Chains A and B, each alone.
Chain A
């Protein structure tokens, strides 16, 4: 999805219904609205500056959590020890 970062000039600076809008944006980002969300999203992002900013912040948070959170390497013997416990319990 291409979102033009520059053209904030035409957006209104006050959001009419922050609670409804932000909840909607967050549901869209969380994939809860499926395809239906996409049209609504475009409308909001084109016309409302607070929605635009909130969306990008929320998107960035999700992105860094997904990509940057340090992963803990799984101990190599864990899978084997589980299989062994299962064997012994049979």
Chain B
């Protein structure tokens, strides 16, 4: 990897960047880490590792650019390279999700769910969280980045090292899978999910 050769930051500048641009994102970072690992200790380790790496490679961070996206990218890479392997519980793989994911690059927009906006709005935080947590990690990740953290497609493409078109289609699939799970909750709650009542 060819590192862009920037001037090195002074000790004061490093501290200023770290405290002023990196540390304010600790809440988002911890929540991202927790949603990836589902474990408080693992999440803590992951966030600590990320900040250590951020400090070590601080010269490759351009002051004033998007620190949050830069940090999220480090965290995501650490998770893939280290935590995913030694994870306490084997990754839950939903084969249907994986299959849909890898089989085509085209996205099916025809498959409409009969889930209604009103029943979604009535759902509890726990139901939403559970549905999100039940998604395979790649799908969970794009929803966290887009909806919980408000990253743009372009930022997500950089964080995940994938093309923008893939961000868009993965996000679409992720939300469809989420809708399926929410539909299950809606039905069990007795909300009306039918198309139209006669």
Contact = CB atoms under 8 A, between A and B. Distances in A.
Given A57-B116, A61-B178, A65-B128, A72 B34 contact: yes
A63 B153 CA distance: 18
Interface string A31-60: 110000000000000000010011011111
Contacts of A85: 48, 51-52
Interface in A55-90: 56-66, 68-72, 74-75, 78-79, 81-82, 85-86, 89
B18 A74 contact: no
B96 to A, nearest CB: 20
Contact of A69 (B113, B125, B171): B125
A31 B171 CA distance: 13
Interface string B120-141: 1101111011001000000000
Interface residues of B, number: 49
> Which range holds the interface residue count of chain A?
35 or more
A26 B129 contact: no
A23 B109 contact: yes
Interface string B23-49: 100110011001100001001100110
A4 to B, nearest CB: 15
Contact of B40 (A54, A57, A69, A75): A75
Contacts, number: 113
Contact of B18 (A60, A63, A65, A86): A86
A68 B31 contact: no
Nearest to B29: A74
A8 to B, nearest CB: 11
B70 to A, nearest CB: 16
A23 B168 CA distance: 9
Interface in B134-151: 143, 146-148, 150
A70 B35 CA distance: 11
B132 A65 contact: yes
B148 A22 contact: no
Given A18-B110, A60-B120, A72-B31, 11 more contacts: A19-B109, A21-B109, A26-B175, A27-B168, A30-B152, A57-B113, A68-B123, A69-B125, A72-B30, A75-B30, A82-B52
Interface of A: 18-19, 21-23, 26-27, 30-32, 50, 53-54, 56-66, 68-72, 74-75, 78-79, 81-82, 85-86, 89
